[in-house]
Amino acid sequence: MDQSEAPAYGESRRPTATLGSYRHRVTSRLYRELLTEGLRPVLGGTALGIAVAFAVARLFSALLVGVTATDAMTFVTVAVVLTGIGFLAIWLAAGRVARLNSLDALRTEQ
Protein backbone atom coordinates (compact mmCIF):
# COMPACT_ATOMS: atom_id res chain seq x y z
CA MET A 1 0.00 0.00 0.00
CA ASP A 2 1.53 3.30 -1.02
CA GLN A 3 1.17 6.58 0.88
CA SER A 4 -1.72 7.91 -1.26
CA GLU A 5 -3.89 4.92 -0.36
CA ALA A 6 -3.19 5.00 3.37
CA PRO A 7 -6.18 6.01 5.48
CA ALA A 8 -6.01 9.12 7.63
CA TYR A 9 -5.16 8.80 11.31
CA GLY A 10 -8.04 7.26 13.24
CA GLU A 11 -9.80 5.82 10.20
CA SER A 12 -10.28 2.16 9.56
CA ARG A 13 -7.85 0.33 7.31
CA ARG A 14 -10.58 -2.11 6.33
CA PRO A 15 -11.69 -1.70 2.71
CA THR A 16 -15.37 -1.39 1.95
CA ALA A 17 -16.67 -4.68 0.72
CA THR A 18 -18.48 -3.60 -2.42
CA LEU A 19 -16.12 -0.98 -3.78
CA GLY A 20 -12.77 -2.37 -2.68
CA SER A 21 -11.53 1.02 -1.58
CA TYR A 22 -11.01 2.78 1.71
CA ARG A 23 -14.00 4.55 3.22
CA HIS A 24 -12.52 8.08 3.26
CA ARG A 25 -11.58 7.82 -0.43
CA VAL A 26 -15.05 6.59 -1.33
CA THR A 27 -16.68 9.33 0.73
CA SER A 28 -14.65 12.14 -0.83
CA ARG A 29 -15.24 10.80 -4.34
CA LEU A 30 -18.96 10.46 -3.59
CA TYR A 31 -19.23 14.03 -2.32
CA ARG A 32 -17.38 15.35 -5.37
CA GLU A 33 -19.52 13.40 -7.82
CA LEU A 34 -22.84 14.28 -6.17
CA LEU A 35 -21.91 17.95 -5.89
CA THR A 36 -20.87 18.26 -9.51
CA GLU A 37 -23.94 16.40 -10.75
CA GLY A 38 -26.26 18.31 -8.43
CA LEU A 39 -24.89 21.78 -9.04
CA ARG A 40 -25.32 21.60 -12.82
CA PRO A 41 -29.10 22.06 -12.72
CA VAL A 42 -28.79 24.59 -9.89
CA LEU A 43 -26.39 26.78 -11.85
CA GLY A 44 -28.36 26.29 -15.07
CA GLY A 45 -31.57 27.28 -13.32
CA THR A 46 -29.88 30.32 -11.81
CA ALA A 47 -28.63 31.48 -15.21
CA LEU A 48 -32.02 30.88 -16.81
CA GLY A 49 -33.77 32.62 -13.93
CA ILE A 50 -31.59 35.71 -14.24
CA ALA A 51 -32.21 35.88 -17.99
CA VAL A 52 -35.99 35.57 -17.54
CA ALA A 53 -35.96 38.08 -14.68
CA PHE A 54 -34.15 40.65 -16.84
CA ALA A 55 -36.71 40.12 -19.59
CA VAL A 56 -39.72 40.41 -17.28
CA ALA A 57 -38.29 43.27 -15.19
CA ARG A 58 -39.45 45.88 -17.68
CA LEU A 59 -43.07 44.75 -17.25
CA PHE A 60 -42.97 45.22 -13.50
CA SER A 61 -40.89 48.39 -13.39
CA ALA A 62 -43.98 50.48 -12.53
CA LEU A 63 -44.50 48.43 -9.35
CA LEU A 64 -40.98 48.89 -8.00
CA VAL A 65 -40.30 51.60 -5.45
CA GLY A 66 -36.76 52.63 -4.54
CA VAL A 67 -34.91 50.35 -6.98
CA THR A 68 -34.53 50.19 -10.72
CA ALA A 69 -35.95 47.33 -12.76
CA THR A 70 -32.49 45.88 -13.35
CA ASP A 71 -30.81 46.55 -10.00
CA ALA A 72 -27.56 44.58 -10.16
CA MET A 73 -27.18 44.17 -6.40
CA THR A 74 -30.64 42.59 -6.11
CA PHE A 75 -29.98 40.15 -8.94
CA VAL A 76 -26.59 39.13 -7.54
CA THR A 77 -27.90 38.74 -3.99
CA VAL A 78 -30.84 36.59 -5.04
CA ALA A 79 -28.65 34.44 -7.30
CA VAL A 80 -26.06 33.88 -4.56
CA VAL A 81 -28.68 33.07 -1.90
CA LEU A 82 -30.57 30.61 -4.10
CA THR A 83 -27.37 28.93 -5.31
CA GLY A 84 -26.22 28.64 -1.69
CA ILE A 85 -29.50 26.99 -0.72
CA GLY A 86 -29.14 24.54 -3.60
CA PHE A 87 -25.56 23.76 -2.59
CA LEU A 88 -26.62 23.17 1.03
CA ALA A 89 -29.43 20.84 -0.03
CA ILE A 90 -27.05 18.83 -2.23
CA TRP A 91 -24.38 18.74 0.51
CA LEU A 92 -26.86 17.42 3.10
CA ALA A 93 -28.17 14.77 0.70
CA ALA A 94 -24.62 13.71 -0.17
CA GLY A 95 -23.85 13.38 3.53
CA ARG A 96 -26.77 11.04 4.02
CA VAL A 97 -25.72 8.94 1.05
CA ALA A 98 -22.10 8.80 2.24
CA ARG A 99 -23.17 7.42 5.62
CA LEU A 100 -25.04 4.51 4.06
CA ASN A 101 -23.51 1.08 4.33
CA SER A 102 -23.28 -0.11 0.74
CA LEU A 103 -23.81 -3.77 1.60
CA ASP A 104 -27.00 -3.02 3.55
CA ALA A 105 -28.29 -0.87 0.69
CA LEU A 106 -27.67 -3.67 -1.80
CA ARG A 107 -29.32 -6.28 0.44
CA THR A 108 -32.50 -4.25 0.92
CA GLU A 109 -32.80 -3.28 -2.75
CA GLN A 110 -35.70 -5.09 -4.41
Residues in the chain: 110
| CA separation for the pair 81, 86 (Å, rounded) | 9
Q: What is the pLDDT of residues 40-90, one digit of tens each?
A: 999 999 999 999 998 888 888 888 787 788 888 888 999 999 999 999 999
Per the domain annotation, does 57 fall within a domain?
yes
Query: How many domains, the chain?
Result: 1
Pick from 99, 106, 107: nearest CA to 34: 99
CA atoms within 13 A on the CB side of 64: 13
Domain that holds residue 86: 39-98
pTM given for the model: 0.63
